[in-house]
Structure 1
């Protein structure tokens, strides 16, 4: 079993931002890859969910319509590695800030991101749709806490669970700042998106990106995806979509940037994402130093007490 102190001595916790593969022990490796999901063109077709389940043989979730939403999977989990969120919001003044027409707007008015504006009824409803997935963090707390090595960093910079090594301890579940990892009830093991590691090794796109009809899910080298995302954000801002923002793109954020990041049309909380995620193992180094100092202090006090009694 690898101890946290060993991880620090090996430099595996809170490594470098630019080369996570090298930090994981890969001397020669391909460029880091990931996903850029542009939610402004997501149409909620769920082709990515279906492709993910079919390729990875992920069990079905059941048909869970609640009467409140068309979102039948509702959240990421051990049997939902891709989740298309349907967020229904009333059309209001804020919607016109997106460049989308409110109910009764003149025909032909420009609709930046208009795929996600769907008037319905007298008041109208705006559907925000986004295909969520594991973020494959630069600083992945799940890797830090796994005692068996079931979670590992691949040569592509992605994070994968090996089900045959997982002992079901569940430490990775609370460690994830996004609530992505889940234990499957049938056998107690952890499962999540692998970014189709088997396909990557064959030079193929992940199944979800291959199936996406609008290219909302874009796969490629992470550095190129970040450049592409910056251009897309600037394009939307030029069109007056001032609320558009990138989420998980910044390498200086609390997880060192995500290997799967997003362009959003509202606050992260609206999509069920934490506004300021922080890797949960960030302070482990300081904690272990304090533990060591406390242990030395207690040992010293014990020795002093022992000799004091003998005198």
Structure 2
């Protein structure tokens, strides 16, 4: 199971953020600073924000005269509801020493709070910077894709609250097919910049359990363009370490035997 987030219909209402916080009893964020440069009062994903609606303000595309068209706004807003990607190859799972992180029967990744010891190894392991430790108790927190709700045949709170169906939940194969059709539809309408992000099982994390339709480059939304599972080199590192250890042991044994002779 997974998420498909279609940013082309996101209106930035933040209903998903509120629903996520209410259902999971997460601490509230401070009110937005209306004198600042953005309506984004959460800033990013973290221990207390498992859904984050990004507001990206960009200059409007110039015309041939080098200025916005008459009657057109001078800025362009891009909005996207970000979330944990629930990677197929999840580095956070690889580095967790206690088993606090586990893969569910829905192929999602969840942190068991009663098992987490606060070591923090999962924080730098995440290629998306999703996981964060909570200052009050030091444990790691992130989106669970509402594991308790989907186990009871309910949709996650964010998808249920989304008024435009920007956030869609369901079997990943169905979502990927639907997303492909949506991109084709947008291209036919002239929105040639529409693209999918995180849907490809052959990407650096084996495909994401939460993928997106974007209207610009991933970097514009604060997403890495080519995410790679950070533990991909661990097997080779362990093999090299084992080989080095065997070499040292052999050298010590030869030295010992030579000394005895």
Please report the TM-score for the alignment, with normalisation by the length of structure 2.
0.95
- Corresponding residue of 1:179: 129
Corresponding residue SS for 1:270: helix
Matched, 1:37 2:5: yes
> What is the CA–CA distance in structure 2 between the aligned matches of 1:47 and 1:214, rounded to whole Å?
10
1:205 to 155, 160, 182: 155
How many Å separate the matches in 2 of 1:306 and 1:242?
71
CA distances 1:48-107 after superposition (whole Å, capped 9, x unpaired): 00000001101112235371211000100000000000000011239xxxxxxx5425xx
Report the Cα distance in structure 2 between the residues aligned to 1:103 and 1:80, rounded to whole angstroms. 38
Give SS of 1:187's match.
coil
Aligned to 1:91: 60
- The aligned length equals 256
- Matching of residue 261 in structure 1 with residue 211 in structure 2: yes
Residues 151-190 of structure 1 aligned to structure 2 (within 5 Å) = 151-190=101-140
1:46 aligns with 2:14: yes
Matched, 1:296 2:246: yes
Match of 1:283 in 2: 233
Q: Write out per-residue CA displacement over residues 231-277 of structure 1, whole angstroms, 9 at most, x where no aligned residue.
A: 01111111221211100000000000000000000010000000000
Taking structure 1 as the reference length, the TM-score comes to 0.80
Match of 2:170 in 1: 220
2:23 matched to which residue of 1? 55
Q: Secondary structure at the residue paired with 1:93? A: coil
Q: Which residue of 1 aligns with 2:197?
A: 247
**CA drift at 1:177:** 0.4
Return the match for 1:72 from 27, 41, 57.
41
- Aligned partners of 2:62 and 2:69 also within 8 Å: no
1:129 maps to what in 2? 79
Structure 1 residues 190-224: Cα deviation after superposition (integer angstroms, max 9, x where no partner): 11100001100110000000000000000111000
Q: 1:104 aligns with which of 70, 76, 82?
A: 70
CA distance in 1, matches of 2:253, 2:54: 60
Cα RMSD, aligned residues only:
1.3
Distance, in Å, in 2 between the alignment partners of 1:70 and 1:104 is 26
Alpha carbons 2:32, 2:39 under 8 Å: kept: no
Give 1:110's aligned residue: none
Structure 2: distance between partners of 1:220 and 1:92 = 35
With over 3 angstroms needed to count, the CA separation of the structure-2 counterparts of 1:64 and 1:304, relative to structure 1, is farther
SS at match of 1:156: coil
